[in-house]
Amino acid sequence: MPKVTHEDVIDIIKKTGVKLDWKKLDNNESLADQGVDSLDMINIIFAFQEKYGIEITDESISDGEWLTIDKMTSNLKKALPKKQEN
């Protein structure tokens, strides 16, 4: 399993300039509930795609697979081997 940590994910999110209360960040709570709006979410997903060279589908987003830091980290771990196979 490739190494993608919470810290990696948080670092990418920070670089997008999204405003969050980083001290109170909860990895299991949806980012939307922690104040991230829909446009910032688009920006965050774009940053993941660009950083890891992967495709993230609209369906997986609407299915709630990218709502929390935990889910993001886990999905990035899963997506990377698939990319390496291709």
Partner 1 sequence: MIGINNIGCHIASERISNFEKAEKHGVTHDFIMEKIGIVSVARKKSSEKASDLCALAYTDLLARLKESALDDIEFLCVCTQNGDYQLPQISSILQSKLGISKKCAAFDISLGCSGYVYSLHIAKSFMESCGFKRGLLFTSDPYSEIIDLNDKNTDLLFGDGATATMLAENAVFDLGKGVFETDGKMFEHLIKCNNKKLVMNGRGIFNFAMLYVPDVVSQCLNANALNKEDIDLFLLHQASKYIIDNLCKRMKLDMGKVPFLIKEYGNTVSSSIPIVLRDYLSKSDKKTILICGFGVGLSIASSILRRR
Binding site for partner 1 (CB under 8 A): 17, 37-39, 42-43, 45-46, 49, 58, 61
Alpha-carbon gap, residue 14 to 20, rounded angstroms: 9
Six-digit token string for 70:
């935990």
* CB of 13 vs partner 1, minimal distance in Å: 14
User: CB 53 → partner 1: shortest distance, Å?
Assistant: 12
Whether the CB-CB separation of 2 and 17 falls below 8 Å is answered with: no
Closer to partner 1 by Cβ: residue 27 or 49: 49
| Token reading at 84 | 């390496």
Q: Least distance from C-beta 25 to partner 1, angstroms?
A: 20
